Structure 1
Amino acid sequence: MIASEYEYLQKLLKERSGLVLSADKQYLVESRLIPLARRCNLGGLSELVQKMRFGDEALIVAVVEAMTTNETFFFRDKVPFDHFRDTIMPTLLSARKNRRSIRIWCAASSTGQEPYSLAMMLKEMGASLNGWRVEIVATDLSQEVLEKSKAGIFSQFEVQRGLPIQMLVKHFTQVNEMWQISPEIRAMVQFRQLNLLHDFSKLGVFDVIFCRNVLIYFDQETKVNVFNRLAKVIETDGFLLLGAAETVVGLNAGFNPYPERRGLYHPTPATASPSIVPALGARTIQAVR
């Protein structure tokens, strides 16, 4: 790949997905796009780039999806899920007892392990959520991973990564060599395609936002822009969870670190949204039998 082709891909990927590729990442681009070029019966990366320059939108989308990192697993990093169980849900159950509804957004949900982990946790809470309406909205840039998420089918390797055996037995059914999560858990999550670089205000306002391990791929200007818009779609007493290597400190005044809770932030009251949006397609939680 010549320098001008790599520069074209750098610019396009930043514009389309926010992904910032440094000069030393050319090997990564080649390792992911050469197989795509072969699948498309193209002679190599030069021909692939040429077709993209001529406006082959389907190919551009395929390139962006190929370059998107979709590394995830059930209950990834554990700490955010401890925060969800021990801090977030007890607080919201008290604060929302009159309206009895909660909205959760998993941004950059990849193949679905994060929102399904939350759905299983909510199900395990049993009677404490009887009669509550809980909506989990999971979004991702890639249509391919969203289709996998909706199916809820995971390999033996995927269910072995972070998923407690008791939850596997309770919430999954074995299908040949794969495992499918139960229809009841799948119905608790709404999957939608969304690019975080675009307007996401139409999703409404959320009580909890998981935006983990995606902003690390953005440059500082893009991070600031996303944080500014996140502050407008979160309740004044809501919760934002970031990845272990991510922070809002020095980037945005709309969120403050939650005391003694790594990766957990709460909105600055002056910047957070004061409105409440009715849940769309929310599920009424029933106790685990």
Structure 2
Amino acid sequence: MEVSQASYQIIADLLEARTGQHLTESRRWRIGTALSGVFREHGITNVDQLVCLLDLPMRNPGKPDLSQQVVEALLNNETYFFRDKPTFDQLPEDVLPEIASRRADTKRISIWCAGCSTGQEVHSLAMLFNDAADRWKDWTIEILGTDVSHRAINAARNGVYSQFEIQRGLGVAQMLRHFEETSQGWQVRETTRAMSRFQQHNILTEPPSRHRFDLILCRNVLLYFDQAKRERAFSRLSSALSDDGYLMLGAGETVVGQTTSFRPAPRRASIYTSERAPTALHAGAAH
């Protein structure tokens, strides 16, 4: 679908104003496809017509306004369970045990998944802890998932996934252990959901909690920010992370040349430490 320059700019400005994400020219081609559901719901045939309706009050109780629907349709909610498994496997094998050794006195670990989309990453973490229940007995594990999308957060809270979504990243044994089949799809069992909570939040605003997190996952989120927004996001993440905590980014992301708030963690892929971290962490003395 052809999108005029004027309509593209209005849509791009709306997305950036609401989320901070930069809609580059290289992503312009997908606007029509991404908005096809919005077109059908409102009887719209093209992007120019949609843009003309954005400022009109379209009352639809219980649903986001048209502008918010447009924004949410344009967000990339691509995710799946245990995404980038070799990277994810560092958590139970290395990172979480090290964090636990530092939190032995409180027996509490707090994790933030920023840009959690429809919740698969959060539920994957919960599965890790449940699969090692004896190791984490008497521990308090808190996992917070946030996303700018109202629709994605609702899906994450419900924890119901289609057969296709379930098969992406999960083995049969994991599926049967952590999910139950319902008339709507496969739902995460309550024992797995219990340690997680979700809320709508923009990473560019103040952190979602007053206390600092021991581990922050922010994977494949910063890719969509321009340099200025990326620096701001790193600043927010830094203020939310404990001095001795860890940040995990996506495989295609890095802090190198992007921020002075974090440094690569020695011998760990996609894992970073705060600039405030003790010297031993920067040096990799624990290894």
CA offset digits 1:231-289 (Å, max 9, x no partner): 11101110100000000111111111111211001111179xxxxxxxxxxxxxxxxxx
Alpha-carbon distance in 2 for matches of 1:35, 1:113 = 23
Looking at structure 1, the residues matched to 96 and 117 of structure 2 have their Cα atoms a distance apart, in angstroms, of: 23
Selected match of 1:99 from 87, 106, 116: 106
Counterpart of 1:50 (choices 46, 49, 52) is 52
For residues 203 and 13 of structure 1, the distance between their equivalents in structure 2, rounded to whole angstroms, comes to 28
> Aligned equivalents of 1:176 and 1:110: distance in 2?
23
Tell me whether 111-120 or 36-45 shows the greater mean CA deviation: 36-45
State the shift of 1:55 in Å.
6.7
Distance 2:97 2:248 in 1: 16
Question: Quick check: 1:108–1:140 contact (8 Å CA) kept in 2?
Answer: yes
> Could you tell me the percent identity over the aligned residues?
37
- Equivalent residue for 1:260, pick from 263, 267, 277: 267
Distance 1:24 1:243 in 2: 20
Give the match for residue 223 of structure 2.
216
2:194 match: 187
Deviation at 1:226, TM superposition (A): 0.4
CA contact (8 A) 2:204 2:236 kept: no
Structure 1 residue ranges without an equivalent (≥5): 272-289
Q: Secondary structure at the match of 2:217?
A: strand
The answer to whether the aligner puts 1:122 opposite 2:124 as a matched pair is no
Provide, for residues 9-38 of structure 1, a one-character-per-residue CA deviation record: whole Å limited to 9, x for no partner.
Answer: 111211211221222432211111243123
Which residue, out of 163, 177, 196, partners 2:170? 163
Are the aligned partners of 1:139 and 1:191 in contact in 2 as well (CA < 8 Å)? yes
Q: CA RMSD in A?
A: 1.8
Structure 1 residues 212 and 24: alpha-carbon distance in aligned structure 2, compared to 1, 3 A threshold: closer
Q: How many aligned positions are there?
A: 271
- Structure 2 CA distance, aligned partners of 1:256 and 1:201? 23
**C-alpha distance in 1, partners of 2:142/2:184?**
31
Match of 1:30 in 2: 32
Deviation at 1:193, TM superposition (A): 0.5
Q: Which sits farther off after the overlay, 47-56 or 137-146?
A: 47-56
Aligned partner (choices 67, 74, 85) of residue 92 of structure 2 = 85
Q: Is the 8 A contact 1:38 1:44 kept in 2?
A: no
Post-superposition shift, 1:60?
0.8
Secondary structure of residue in 2 paired with 1:208: strand
Amino acid in structure 2 at the alignment position of 1:11: D
Q: Give the counterpart of 1:71 among 71, 75, 78.
A: 78
Work out which of the residue numbers 218, 228, 233 in structure 1 matches 2:235.
228
Structure 2 counterpart SS, 1:103: strand
Identify which range, 197-206 or 260-269, moves more after superposition.
Answer: 197-206
Counterpart of 1:76 in 2: which secondary structure?
coil
Q: TM-score when scaled to structure 2? A: 0.89
Are residues 24 and 168 of structure 1, via their aligned partners in 2, closer, same or farther at CA, if it must alter by over 3 Å?
A: closer
* 1:235-246 correspondence runs (5 A): 235-246=242-253
User: What letter matches 1:240 in structure 2?
Assistant: L
